[in-house]
Structure 1
């Protein structure tokens, strides 16, 4: 059989056939004019080689199997172990790729030192988006949950107020009108003040504010009053929040100040404990500033933020050097209490 015919029958390239010949797997004869002529034995050997290579068996092991120096099934068992390790490695690689893609991170050297890790926080301490962020961005799903919480609280308070008012006002129609007005007013007020963001531990009192660190820059929302916050809330429900949020490229951030403050918190105990928290102040080239009081930072976002700030912002004011703690995933309170 000629080389061209062999290529068609086995669907192997001429280069691959020559390679197997060079490895000594086949020894075609030459006819009178010098052209290779493959025997039936060569064809059967090449079919076997193609099958074994399709199982990801190395060329050396293929030669050993064909020569009878290696058992086929033993080779499969060894390859299965290697393949399982490769699959696990590929899964980890895919997980990392998905995480970096979803987070929309800038390409900075510090990324190699950060292990992709997502924590399963309890309800109320979960991230709302996959982007690296200070605070938790208000999303449509979370806005709906806030509406349910505000509706329930407003309904209970309005009902209690109306019952009390019934002592003074007798006509039921008046009480119904008062109930509706009180309910709507309280509901709007709760939404506008982002009441659901305030916890007794003061761990998330950020008034729907957030800063997302994206590949090209940061996008943030700054609370500027009840009317503006209500407008932002509605924009989130209509998927138009980006029209209200501000975006600055990293080169437009002139300075970031990190302030470390000591707070005293009681967590179900008679004695308060010391907790260090961070405030962030962003300065931009157009003169704008954004001061973010005590934002919640979840998962490993602190490490990403520290690495991004160091790589992208030319001036960082950080008298306590907490940027070091952020980059290395250290607890800020422990770091400050053990700081020399």
Structure 2
């Protein structure tokens, strides 16, 4: 699950001429609108974004690091497997997860309360322990500590990580389920407000990102990454892909609708970064579909280079990379003083 971080969509775009109206009256109107709005703002938005960042980090970084570790250091029964020939597979860093944990932890006991608070608290505790274990394992192999103790510490850390991962994965699933409902509700509320306000161009941008997110979610729900990409349910992916391409076509059409752009005080240039990112995301989603249809597995050399896998065409990691860039450009766009 990877999502849009900012949902304060209304009044994100507009010219400075509108600011010439009486400031006090404007503030009153905005306050009234916020009171009636189901879209988060203020402290609610800050907490929501922190939880979304945690969700993003867990699903796009931590789970992949966990999966790659067990693939490299476990046998078919999950038991510890010693590296051979003094060459140990690299252990993926989880810096995004660590940062997200710190941010989310600030809001766990703060108002307003969210339906995901209980699940977030459990997950923060789990991930704090597991991320430290991964770091300790990384340090152990980098320093060649196994020479000193004949892999004893490596095996102990492995068994600890294996046991804790059972709890962590259950808590990730519970957190994802709560966040999915929360995110869907926010996106629906934001879309309604955009339509009601006549911001149809921004609505089409948001809809495209939502459909792209559904592609990502389809892959994540199946536990798909570069190493098992051909296990993807092709029919499920293609079904979501068709809606995704439809939203892409609608976005491109909207970006060229001069009459509507003028109503929203936008130009094609204002949308250039969004459109560029949308093109890249569309291309990466299409490349992945093409790989699935042709049943082309990703080379072992690419799989064993986790730092570069997001550059390999037709991988879930590359699609995630382009999607995240799209989200970043969108968040910049809606907060730009056009």
Between Structure 1 and Structure 2, the one with more helix by share is 2
- Higher RCO structure, 1 or 2 (CA under 8 Å, sep 6+): 2
Between Structure 1 and Structure 2, the one with more strand by share is 1
Normalised by the length of structure 1, the TM-score is 0.21
Asked which structure has the greater CA Rg, the reply is 1
Normalised by the length of structure 2, the TM-score is 0.21
